[in-house]
Amino acid sequence: MVNLEAARARLASLPDPEIPAVTLVELGIVRDLRETGAGLEVVLTPTYSGCPATELIADDVRAALAEFGPVTVTLQRSPAWTTDWISAEGREKLQRYGIVPPQCSAEQAIRFVPQLRCPRCAGGRTEQLSRFGSTPCKSTWRCIECGEPFEYFKSI
């Protein structure tokens, strides 16, 4: 019998490879952890279907939980991941890391025009430089007040 609480704690400490300031659990990528007859099964939902880090994340999960026995990683793409799944702690950590977290729910994003504050100086005069940032789920912005670029984690 596996100590599921210890496995959950280990999984909850596993950082996202692209944004190491937040964990996979805080981003809402980890959907479930359960014991099966063959060991542990971890259900992951990638942030988007073409995420280049998906295999690395699965490998990291298997390595982190290896001491608990065999680990199966199942990718669940439906329902699709949404920024609504990012925890409150994850949003705070994104902000401290310099990435503005989503400002609305995924449903509201269709008609929402973000009014972003700079994560460095808290200035409110910002402009979008590119709809896409270092990954498709982020856009690139610049603070007009301090001149620093920053990323915004789009609501999806």
pLDDT at 67 over 80: yes
Burial 71-85 (b: 16+ CB within 10 A, else e): bebeeeeeeebbbeb
**CA-CA distance, 38 to 50, in Å (whole number)?**
29
Place of tokens 């998906």: 54
Above pLDDT 90, what percent of the chain? 72
Question: What mean pLDDT comes out for the span 132-139?
Answer: 83
- Could you read off the pLDDT of 14-51 as tens digits, one per residue? 999 999 999 999 999 999 999 999 999 999 999 887 88
**CA-CA distance, 63 to 42, in Å (whole number)?**
12
SS3 category, 124: coil
**CA-CA distance, 138 to 58, in Å (whole number)?**
22
Q: Nearest Cα to 98, choosing from 131, 134, 130?
A: 134
Question: What mean pLDDT comes out for the span 125-131?
Answer: 91
Ordered by start, the domain boundaries in the chain are 4-81, 87-153
What CATH number does the domain located at 4-81 have? 3.30.300.130
